[in-house]
Amino acid sequence: MIHDIATFTKLIHEYKQSPDLTYQSWFLHNEDRLKAFRSIRRGVLQVISDVKGGSFPNDFKGSSLEFVLTCITEQKQVFEGASHPFYWKPKLRIPDIYENQDHKRYFGQFLECCLKATKPETIVNEINRLDGYKIKGLGPAVASILYFLHPTWVPPFNTAIINGYNRLFNEKRKLGSWSEYLAIRDKMLAINSEYRHILSNDLGALAGLLFEVGSGNLLVPGLADQPAAEREKVEKQLSKRHKDVVSDQQEEQTHSEMQHHLLTIGRALGYDVAVARNDMSRQYNGQAFSFISLPSLPILPVSSETAQTISLIDAVWLEKNTGRIICAFEVEKSTSIYSGILRLTDLTCSLPDHATTLYLVIPDSRRKEVEMQLTRPSIRQTNTLIRYILMSELRTHCDALCKFGDSHRVLDKIARSV
């Protein structure tokens, strides 16, 4: 248990300074975080719409809820396993939001009220209302969804976080109860308020600290005196985490490389080019994206929310002097292909007169997966044509496309359709 302010402050600084722990590797320096918040919000809207329209299925797989949880679990580390409580378990008939129509409606209403909430008290009231329905198998795992709707009001929740909480504060809170969750939330809000100056308004920072303590990746005072076997276990866990972080960094490097190729080709073909708003500070091969990209997209005749979504598309080519979007590209690594598809369909549905050509740039190993995603009924119903380009071919043919191309049609040489 943490006994004093100085000790807890020291623990926070250790957590923040380690490049392998979640504060550095996920909370502070993960560019996919911004995209995740918007994609998850969009996904929750779809869940609500499906429940209202009677099209929400009687299974987790293939549902809009599966997309939401996939976006969450892709945040890795803190959110690994977040989807498991929502898997349909037919022998237990839980969670009972698939077959029980009343419970399905209650869950949809709960999500809608929380999404539209303008004050934290509303969230608490809705949690208590949902708890009162006693829906089997539907507990505070839902908090991980709520976190991405209101990150300053609602902390995420899982086994590692509650283990870290109990270890730090010498309590014995349990995992599956909403009342236990609300008690933990109250304490986390109080702690976060006291240490906000070295943490964040976003409760993900404090949740990450509890996660690392609960996972055994961050030693609390007194743990260093544990037997050698325990310390060796912690060291092995940290070694594995380091390898995961290095792998993520390599993915980010590949992502930047592909964006750089796209920006370079677009400029060579005579287009204005724009990189995702949250990637403007990136660079590749010594060339900063801010030096070769438009500072921002031109004002588009769409809603502000749609404009924000479009501004997060990885790379865009625009016709000179008109602001018409000619091509849009989403670069996919190990993250959800479906979320990139949604951003592209948002663009083309919102700007039908731009006749934009849409592309996914994917690792060669994900070819079958992207073809499966592009044949989803929900995508086919939009009549949106999205083609894909393999990273290996974009890398190999970048110079030739720049040299011999005279319009975006040169991409037909390497782009594939389903």
pLDDT of 20-74, one tens digit each?
899 998 898 777 787 788 889 989 999 999 999 999 999 998 888 998 998 898 8
**pLDDT given for residue 226 in this prediction:** 52
Worst-scoring range by mean pLDDT, 58-62, 113-117, 123-127?
58-62
**Band of residue 355 on the pLDDT scale cut at 50, 70, 90:** confident
Q: Decide if pLDDT at 378 tops 90.
A: no
**pLDDT given for residue 233 in this prediction:** 60
Q: Give the Cα separation of 408 and 190 in Å (integer).
A: 55
**pLDDT given for residue 261 in this prediction:** 97
pLDDT (average), residues 160-186: 93
**Band of residue 248 on the pLDDT scale cut at 50, 70, 90:** low
Q: Give the Cα separation of 52 and 40 in Å (integer).
A: 18
Distances in whole angstroms, Cα of residue 137 to Cα of each of 91, 95, 133: 12, 4, 12
**Band of residue 223 on the pLDDT scale cut at 50, 70, 90:** very low
Q: Decide if pLDDT at 262 tops 60.
A: yes
Long-range residue pairs from 349-354, CB within 8 A, at least 24 positions apart, any chain: 349/382, 349/384, 350/300, 350/302, 350/303, 350/306, 350/310, 351/300, 351/301, 351/302, 351/325, 354/324, 354/325, 354/326
* Token pair belonging to 306: 């749609």
**pLDDT given for residue 130 in this prediction:** 96
pLDDT (average), residues 310-321: 92
Worst-scoring range by mean pLDDT, 156-170, 187-201, 251-265, 344-358?
344-358
Q: Decide if pLDDT at 377 tops 90.
A: no
**pLDDT given for residue 240 in this prediction:** 64
**Band of residue 192 on the pLDDT scale cut at 50, 70, 90:** very high
Stated length of the chain: 418
Average pLDDT of the chain to the nearest whole number: 88
Worst-scoring range by mean pLDDT, 50-54, 227-231, 309-313?
227-231
**pLDDT given for residue 218 in this prediction:** 86
* Site of tokens 């008109």: 322
Q: Decide if pLDDT at 312 tops 50.
A: yes
The 3-state secondary structure of the chain reads CCCCHHHHHHHHHHHHHCCCCHHHHHHHCCCHHHHHHHHHHHHHHHHHHHHHHCCCCCCCCCCHHHHHHHHHHCCCHHHCCCCHHHCCECCCCECCCCCCHHHHHHHHHHHHHHHHCCCHHHHHHHHHHHHHCCCCCCCHHHHHHHHHHCCCCCCCCCHHHHHHHHHHHCCCCCCCCHHHHHHHHHHHHHHHHHHCCCCCCCCHHHHHHHHHHHHCCCCCCCHHHCCHHHHHHHHHHHHHHHHHHHHHHHHHHHHHHHHHHHHHHHHHCCCEEEECHHHCCCEECCEEHHHHCCCCCCCCCCCHHHHHHHHCCCEEEECCCCCCEEEEEEECCCCCHHHHHHHHHHHHHHCHHHCCEEEEEECHHHHHHHHHHHCCHHHHCCCCCEEEEEHHHHHHHHHHHHHHCCCHHHHHHCCECC
Q: Decide if pLDDT at 323 tops 50.
A: yes
Bigger pLDDT: 156 or 334? 156
What does pTM read for this prediction? Answer: 0.70
Bigger pLDDT: 189 or 224? 189
**pLDDT given for residue 48 in this prediction:** 96
Q: Decide if pLDDT at 120 tops 80.
A: yes
**pLDDT given for residue 67 in this prediction:** 85
Which distant-in-sequence residues (6+ apart) come within 8 Å of 329 by Cβ? Answer: 262, 313, 314, 315, 316, 359, 360, 361
Q: Decide if pLDDT at 150 tops 50.
A: yes
Determine the Cα angle at 390 with ends 276 and 285, to 5°: 55
**pLDDT given for residue 305 in this prediction:** 81
pLDDT of 77-111, one tens digit each?
789 889 999 999 999 999 999 999 999 999 999 99
**Band of residue 281 on the pLDDT scale cut at 50, 70, 90:** confident
Q: Decide if pLDDT at 269 tops 50.
A: yes
